[in-house]
Amino acid sequence: MSAPPLTLAARIGGWFARPSEQAGLRSDRFRLEREADWKRLEAIVQHMEAGRTRRLSDADLLALPALYRTAASSLAIARETSLDAALIAYLEALTQRAWLLVYGPRASLWSWFKGFIGGGLSASVRAMGTELLIALALMVAGTAAGWLLVAANPEWYYALVPGSFADERVPGASRAVLERTLFGNQDQGGMGVFAASLFSNNAQVSILCFALGFAFGLPTMLLLVHNTALLGALLWLYHGQGLLLDLIGWLSIHGTTELFAILLAGAAGLHIGRAMAFPGTMAVLDAAAAAGRRSAQVMAGVVLMLVMAAVLEGFARQLVDSTPSRLGVGGSMLVLWCAYFFAFRRSGK
């Protein structure tokens, strides 16, 4: 829509108008030339925000991206030429609302979560098959290394196991002392403190394994080995008193979930590191960004698993006080996670 031509008197009057009046004239002309497109965009946005998208014509839906770009261009010009503040505020609000409809998420949070749990997470995990095998091998190697180090020299135990974990669990402790740490502690706070420390350590390791993956995965590898060396040292200690199976049962209630979460976090970090080290035909940053999106989805699952492990640690540990029952709970959780990640496949995944 174009404005009518100005008369000679109006032009002469404009030459001698005050600066504020000239700015007003420029703003009015600018608005008249583009206001029809803004109003049309505003009407489309209002319909879509109100959930009445079906009432819009195909022409309006097809015109939405072009109208948004027109409004964004108008906003840039209005800012550059210092037009009136009210017009700039109107265009800013309009372009922000339109941007969400053109480029914003198409699904609600609940829809995303259903897709995430219903197949998106497991598909992302399966896409990291190579990294999962590498992470698993590193965790097994770390456990074996921890066992062998303390078996060769018990002084290694104090280097591998933090003081907050050790308390009574030290080389030379009697069977009775170690057994007391595993059974009959439902009403004692000491085991809760130890369990909380163990959970906090595993949560930190999971986050760091992912966050440090950008360094070509090398810090992630070291973290996986170091953290499981602690586990190997504990296994050696209890094995010396014939309590290895009892310790495994005690750990398995929440440990199968926690260790699985660490495995996934390590694989996520290695996935980013491998993408940066071997980007293929893609640019390094593009390869890292693509791997990062998949890894971030896996890490969202890791957070949920750690929360579930905390629940198991806080309640199941208190209710179950026999090794066979503990192994049953831990084994069931392991089977559940393996089935979910590797056997369950949503149609089309």
pTM: 0.67
Which pLDDT value is given to residue 193? Answer: 56
Side-chain-side CA neighbours of 23 within 13 Å: the count stands at: 13
Q: Which of 342, 334, 144, 337 is CA-nearest to residue 253? A: 334
Q: How far apart are CA 252 and CA 259, in angstroms?
A: 9
The residues near 323 (Cβ < 8 Å, ≥ 6 apart) are 245, 246, 249, 250
What tokens were used for 4? 């009518």
Which pLDDT value is given to residue 349? Answer: 47
Amino acid in the structure at residue 334: L
Tens digits of per-residue pLDDT, 106-154? 556 677 677 778 888 898 999 999 999 999 999 999 999 999 999 999 9
Q: How far apart are CA 90 and CA 24, in angstroms?
A: 16
Tens digits of per-residue pLDDT, 82-92? 777 888 888 89
Check residue 51 and report its DSSP letter.
T
- Pairwise pLDDT comparison (9 vs 36), residue with the higher score: 36
Task: Determine phi and psi for 171, rounding to 5 degrees.
Answer: -55, 135
Q: How far apart are CA 245 and CA 324, in angstroms?
A: 9
- Pairwise pLDDT comparison (336 vs 168), residue with the higher score: 336
